Chains A and B, each alone.
Chain A
């Protein structure tokens, strides 16, 4: 048996040591294999001297990684995550300033202070539903529609503690409450009512897909990109933009401070936001580009639809960044699980 182990060890080491002379660029990203592999392939085609190595992890995990690796940075590029998280990275001195070639073509509100990060995609939240189980006339049209009795115990919610999008939606509700009443109480009451509608909190997109597809819930609040990707794979999912406006998260990219091979890293960043990069991910991964002046005829139809139908709700991002944590803690401690649910848990 020890001989077998030694052989395996040897094989492993050999494979490990196989370098090939290309410049490695390590990218930490939550965007997932499909998108990252696509971008890697296309970028390496244009730059065969660069080897893109991506590691797939949540944006929160990227932040922590970068903290630990501060003294010995492994990653060159942080690609993906809400700008709120990038802001924390910037405050922690983990990022290096870089204005990409396409830097002037995005909304300046999403750009980090001192050019520390730039928005690449816009991620709108939508109301999604199982179109086999929900008749077109029943589809909820706005946030408050989700609180109707029809949906009691039929709503699936991605756990807001784990999802930037959900936090943003929560922020939208609470922000609205603050603007209307000067207090978060009404917002929390709304969220409590939503809790009563909730069949399950899921933490994982795969579970959400399964549950929604199997009919364990009929309605959910989700990111547009995920809905479209699932639809493209045959899932019976439909979506609407909330009539009163939805949150749109700016999804950013940044150069890591002390990155190895910064030149190659910058080339990658340039590619991601370039015309080809943005169109590629729009076509194959359903990411809404942050770039404003892409050639209109090459933009896929669904993007044009989004630009037409989507209404963006105003959110005080600064306040969300300041008080979001406290709101989430309060929600977790005092609201989650308190709305009466069907069947209980």
Chain B
């Protein structure tokens, strides 16, 4: 048996606790049956679904995150990092072992819901939804482990212990809810598929992806499976980094490219007033930009590494390609792709829609650059600054900027703080200037000897004294 799995089972899932966990769904289904008496066949399916969501989508990701965060708290993480286990063994040992009890609960709930749904509709149909549920669970659980590893790396760079709360998991849950809402809305409004009593009726308008037609829900389910595999791979790569192994830098670029191609594949609506290439470029650029934002937020704010990267770029210090490859920040590659795609898109728009549209595209690029500069400046300024805090400041910059611009600059004022079409070109100039200022600010922050959270706390105490 995988030693990491065995240790987790020893600690978290001895037989007595597993039996106790299994008793929970049994009791709940018993109560549901006693109350409903079989009057509503869907009651068991709904109860199973709710239990599954609680166990597999909330409890299991928290346990997966705790599988590494608790090691740091218990000061056993360095002991684990020097073990001889392969990164994959450590990854799956934690994923399976630390979540044994949540999955015991989720599995039993899913099994009963599956049997009930199968008896109501068909077992093929029930199996489809069970697979979707398992894919969703794996996605969340692997992401929980990955987020825990990211928090460890970030907190180490900040010279502090990881926090008890996990904003990363909260953001992931929000993203998942948003994704579900989008799929639900599209299923009902655009593709006109109907879901009643677990039975999906085909929509009037199927999904078209790279010119081929697919059933929307099946497509979403397959996508979910791919995302779950990606999330597991993500956790494995982060585990490799923790074990001091180097990850091939091209894998991240490959992932971003594939994600961009995936997004670009969704064909535009027939009544949309944009060209096909324009539409695909915009979608691909949006995904690349999103990856750049994620990269800017999840990578440790390691000033030493950033300085080495800058030094490797400096021809006066001798251009060092090897160091450049290994020290390039995560944000750089998707940002470069975003620049290429948006400049290309601007050229297409200039040809098809005129200069103002092209300038708006370039203004969007300028504001993306500004945002990334602001994120870098904020994160390198004070190690350990929370992601929520950084995102809130960025959101305030847009909202307050637009309000202040409107107040003092009239109708054209907001163009100084958000990319707008009118007045033509103003957003591009403003965004460019703000991006330059933000990156000068970030560069200054990186060059300064940064202090850990303890230094800041000490300074506060001295000041208070």
Q: Do A and B come from one complex?
A: no
